[in-house]
Structure 1
Amino acid sequence: MAPDPPDDPYVLHARLLAADEAAFREVYEAYVPLVLGVATRVIRDRTAAEDVAQEVLSHLWERPLSYDPARGPLRAWLLVLAHHRAVDWVRREEKRRGLAAPHEAPRGDETADAATDGLVALRVRAVAAGLPDTLREPLLLAYYGGRTYRQVAAELGIPEGTAKTRLRTALRVMAAALAAEGITP
């Protein structure tokens, strides 16, 4: 795996926000092999994968605010974005060729899928960790502790309706945060 660029992630992000070409070059050199590798494994066409990799890195250059170093490492964000863009490319191609059945997801390389699943899980945990305590506690009890909303309410000493509301709110906040990073169900 390529190392992170030498700067602190916040310093690097500030440099990208300032349109520092040297910072972008550091990111490009550090991550283009990984981004291209994920895109190639999903698309299985080197030329198309190169286009997707260029699209991903151009996205960072043109919209550096879309990456937030507080939410996780740049590497993870770029790889998740590469995977999503590559899957979108495959879907567009299948639709263009008339091969895809409605709602059929393309089958990617199992290694790429496993890597992406791990990165998505990392992002989900990071987003959950960033929730306020009032939302995070019920969410962790329900989804990681296997409790019902009634059990969550009893354990936290809150009304059942409040437990339901907090769970729904936590899920909505997480879905919005993940969607902003291109991670959708």
Structure 2
Amino acid sequence: MATQKPKYTEDELVASLKRNDQAAFEYLYDHYSGSLYNVISKIVRDEERAQDVMQEAFLKIWRSISSYNPDKGRLFTWMLNIARNTGIDAVRAEGRKPGFDDIQDNLERAEQNASYQPSPSTMDLKSLVEKLKPERKILVDMVYFQGYTQEEVSERLSIPLGTVKSRIRTALKDLKNYFSV
């Protein structure tokens, strides 16, 4: 008789992770690694290096789970930021620029590989980002999916830095409103 792996709500998963429950961490890896790996591999652009960065990202997640605050965002978003930043740091440490792709491709790959979706309304990121005005959508793409800094976006698009920051802030507010609808 095979043992059945536990299933968690997001709150239960976070609580178990904060208690250093190894089964919860295995569950986390099994259900999120595909999506996070796709983001990392797009940034790193080297399969072997992406696997190393993925392992490093999960170690960071494991070590810093106690700092996760559900009031500030969903677990997936928090982990996605850790994975993205770990990938960007790895590429920059090698003296290269992060890889760049279309936001549509990144979102489709993440959706195909995510097997844990806390709430369909909050995980339909593709359609939510598509609702943004084009001038905001491109900034979200460049900063959050391609790894550019706000300063680099300002230079590349010849837009004042203050405009970039305010458009991103507005885009994030719009996305937050879309999540709560």
TM-score (norm 2): 0.52
- Residue by residue over 1:87-110, the C-alpha shift from the partner in whole angstroms, topping out at 9 and shown as x without a partner, is 11111111xxxxx6xxxx545223
CA-CA distance at 1:112 after TM superposition: 8.0
What secondary structure is seen at the aligned counterpart in 2 of 1:19? coil
After superposition, the Cα gap between the structure-2 partners of 1:13 and 1:69, relative to the gap in structure 1 and judged at 3 Å, is same
Question: What is the aligned partner in structure 2 of residue 29 from structure 1?
Answer: 30
Q: How far apart in 1 are the matches of 2:57 and 2:83?
A: 6
Taking CA–CA contacts closer than 8 Å with sequence separation of 6 or more, which of the two structures ends up with the larger relative contact order? 2
After superposition, the Cα gap between the structure-2 partners of 1:6 and 1:71, relative to the gap in structure 1 and judged at 3 Å, is farther
Q: What is the alpha-carbon root mean square deviation over aligned residues?
A: 3.1
- Residue by residue over 1:6-41, the C-alpha shift from the partner in whole angstroms, topping out at 9 and shown as x without a partner, is 422222111111110111011000011111111111
Task: Kindly indicate whether the alpha-carbon contact (under 8 Å) linking 1:16 and 1:23 is maintained by their aligned counterparts in 2.
Answer: yes
- Which residue identity is paired with 1:110? D
Q: How far apart in 2 are the matches of 1:13 and 1:54?
A: 19
TM-score (norm 1): 0.51
Q: How far apart in 1 are the matches of 2:75 and 2:36?
A: 11
Task: Kindly indicate whether the alpha-carbon contact (under 8 Å) linking 1:60 and 1:66 is maintained by their aligned counterparts in 2.
Answer: no
Question: What is the aligned partner in structure 1 of residue 15 from structure 2?
Answer: 14
1:110 maps onto 2:102 in alignment: yes
Question: Unaligned stretches of 5+ in structure 1?
Answer: 95-99, 121-139, 145-185
CA-CA distance at 1:51 after TM superposition: 1.1
Question: Unaligned stretches of 5+ in structure 2?
Answer: 1-5, 108-124, 126-139, 145-165, 171-181
- Which residue identity is paired with 1:82? A
1:74 maps onto 2:80 in alignment: no
- Residue by residue over 1:130-171, the C-alpha shift from the partner in whole angstroms, topping out at 9 and shown as x without a partner, is xxxxxxxxxx9xx75xxxxxxxxxxxxxxxxxxxxxxxxxxx
Q: Between the two proteins, what is the percent identity of the paired residues?
A: 31
After superposition, the Cα gap between the structure-2 partners of 1:16 and 1:112, relative to the gap in structure 1 and judged at 3 Å, is farther
Report how many aligned residue pairs link the two structures. Answer: 111
What secondary structure is seen at the aligned counterpart in 1 of 2:53? helix
Within 5 A, what are the aligned runs for 1:99-178?
A: 106-111=98-103, 117=140, 144=170
User: Of the two, which has the highest radius of gyration?
Assistant: 1
Q: How far apart in 2 are the matches of 1:75 and 1:113?
A: 18
Task: Kindly indicate whether the alpha-carbon contact (under 8 Å) linking 1:56 and 1:81 is maintained by their aligned counterparts in 2.
Answer: yes
Q: How far apart in 1 are the matches of 2:68 and 2:28?
A: 13
Task: Kindly indicate whether the alpha-carbon contact (under 8 Å) linking 1:9 and 1:69 is maintained by their aligned counterparts in 2.
Answer: no
Task: Kindly indicate whether the alpha-carbon contact (under 8 Å) linking 1:36 and 1:53 is maintained by their aligned counterparts in 2.
Answer: yes
CA-CA distance at 1:80 after TM superposition: 1.8
Task: Kindly indicate whether the alpha-carbon contact (under 8 Å) linking 2:61 and 2:82 is maintained by their aligned counterparts in 1.
Answer: no
Q: How far apart in 1 are the matches of 2:77 and 2:12?
A: 18
